[in-house]
Each structure stands twice: as C-alpha cells, then as structure tokens.
C-alpha cells in the first residue's frame, strides 16, 4: 500500500489502512505458529459467543409468544430455512444446519468487525477461502455421490445446439472452478475494502479543516458497511444454496 511513501513525505498525514488486518498473538510477541492464540482466535470465539447468544440464549425460555431476541432467532431460522427450501427444494433441507452455520458465522463475524478497534476475521482470505472451498468440495463430492457421472451433465448444456455444446462445456467448466475464487474473494474483498476506506478517511481527520468532512464520510461509510455486512453474508449463503441445488439437481 501507499503507507511508506506518505509517511516518508514527512507530512502529518499517516495512513495505515491495512494495519487493522495484522494478525498478532494475544499473549506476548512471539512468532505465530498454527496453534498460537491470536486476535483472530479472540474474534472468532466472540463470533461463537454471538451466535450462541443469538440462537441459544435467546430461545432458552421457549416462549410461545416470543421475546424480541427470540423473534430474531426465529426470523434468522425462518429466513435461511425458506431460502434453502425455495432454492434446493425438500432435499436441500438436510443441509440446513450446514448452511445456517455459514450464514450465522459470517453475519456475526461481519457485524463484530463493525465494532471500532475490532479485528474483522471475514476480511481475511485465510478465512473466506476455506469457507468457499468447503462449499465447493461439498458440492462436488455430493454431486458425484448423488448423481454419479450424471453430475457431469451440469457442463453439457443439452438445450444448446450440438455444435455449441463443447464450447459451452469448456465455459461451464471454467465457471465451475472459478466459483470458490469468486465466492471467497467477494466476501473478503467487500469487507476489507470498506474497512480500509474508513481507515483512510480517519487518517484525513488529522487535518482540522477536513476533519468534519472526514467524520461525515466515516459515518456514511459505516452505514454502507453495516449494509454490506449483512448483504455479503446473505450473498454467500444464497450462492451456497444455488451451488447445492446444482449438486442435487444437476440438469439445466
């Protein structure tokens, strides 16, 4: 990034928009091994806590007339359940816990990332790529297990003219393998970009004349980011459903 160059100019403006994404050990300054508890660990566990509070604690009373928090849990349940059922049909319902896990994790991690000074786990490709790869592998394995070689019919567009089919098959094949890439980069990219832009605006706040504009811009960006936080979780989940549908019903 432009960090070093701006700092080197010696002006009062110092931008470190990417520093918020640095992974640090929670205890001490040692190197980061695979098992080291880091700020990633902390915020991932906070996401677990958030999911637990939203879906388990809020429903502990099992009220027939729900409280506000229980309504939130029920709405989230109904929202994802209906999405999965609409897209994948009855067969898709058995993947509901899996899809719900993805949605609840992403939405909680995104919103936890909106807390100032927090660490946004979903802004890291190391988090979103495994999520997307897990979906990709699930869909591929499930497709072959359920349909056998008929799953390859996904790439053979039988409604197209014979001459076009090989060409379309290549395009379909490429688009199939690009899925996990777009799936993961879309989420991390959106979240990261918003957070970095907010940091850049925050850097401008050092100049007194610009600072009101900067604060306004941060506020506006924050509102946009709240929207993005939810929409990206929604998009990730609905794409998961669409991919699952391909595995369950591969015919075009």
Separation between Cα atoms, residue 225 and residue 231, nearest integer Å:
9
Nearer to another protein, 97 or 161 (CB): 97
Minimum separation from the CB atom of position 163 to another protein (A)? 43
* Site map 180..219 versus another protein, x via CB under 8 A: --------x---x---------------------------
Minimum CB distance to another protein, residue 92 (Å): 15
Task: Decide: 144 and 250 in contact? Cβ < 8 Å.
Answer: no
The angle that helices 125-147 and 165-204 make with each other, rounded to 10 degrees, is 160
10 binds another protein (CB under 8 A): no
Is residue 105 within the footprint of another protein (CB under 8 A)? yes
Contact call for residue 55 and another protein (CB under 8 A): yes
Query: Least distance in Å: CB of 246 to another protein?
Result: 22
Kindly state the number of chain residues that form the binding site for another protein, as judged by CB under 8 A. 61
Residues that bind another protein (CB under 8 A): 1, 3-4, 16, 18-24, 29-38, 40-41, 44-45, 47-48, 51-52, 55-56, 59, 62-64, 66, 70, 73-74, 77-78, 96-98, 100-101, 104-105, 117, 119, 121, 123-127, 130-131, 134, 188, 192
């Amino acid at each position: 990034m432009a960090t070093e160059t701006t700092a080197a100019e010696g002006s009062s403006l110092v931008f470190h928009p990417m520093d918020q994404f640095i992974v640090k050990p929670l205890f001490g300054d040692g190197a980061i091994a695979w098992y080291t508890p880091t700020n990633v660990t902390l915020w991932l566990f906070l996401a677990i806590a958030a999911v637990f509070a939203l879906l388990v604690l809020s429903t502990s009373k099992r009220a027939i007339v729900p409280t506000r928090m229980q309504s939130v849990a029920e709405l989230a349940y109904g929202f994802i359940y209906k999405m999965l059922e609409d897209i994948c049909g009855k067969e898709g319902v058995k993947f509901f816990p899996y899809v719900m896990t993805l949605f609840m994790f992403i939405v909680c991690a995104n919103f936890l990332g909106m807390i100032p000074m927090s660490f946004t786990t979903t802004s890291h490709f190391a988090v979103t790529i495994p999520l997307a790869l897990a979906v990709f592998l699930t869909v591929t394995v499930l497709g072959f297990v359920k349909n056998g070689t008929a799953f390859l019919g996904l790439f053979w567009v039988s409604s197209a003219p014979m001459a076009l089919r090989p060409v379309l098959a290549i395009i379909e094949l490429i688009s199939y393998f690009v899925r996990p890439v777009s799936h993961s980069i879309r989420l991390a990219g959106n979240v990261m970009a918003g957070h970095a832009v907010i940091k850049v605006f925050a850097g401008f706040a050092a100049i007194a004349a610009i600072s009101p504009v900067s604060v306004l811009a941060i506020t506006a960006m924050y509102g946009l980011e709240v929207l993005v936080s939810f929409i990206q979780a929604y998009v990730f989940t609905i794409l998961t459903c669409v991919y699952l549908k391909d595995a369950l019903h591969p015919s075009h």
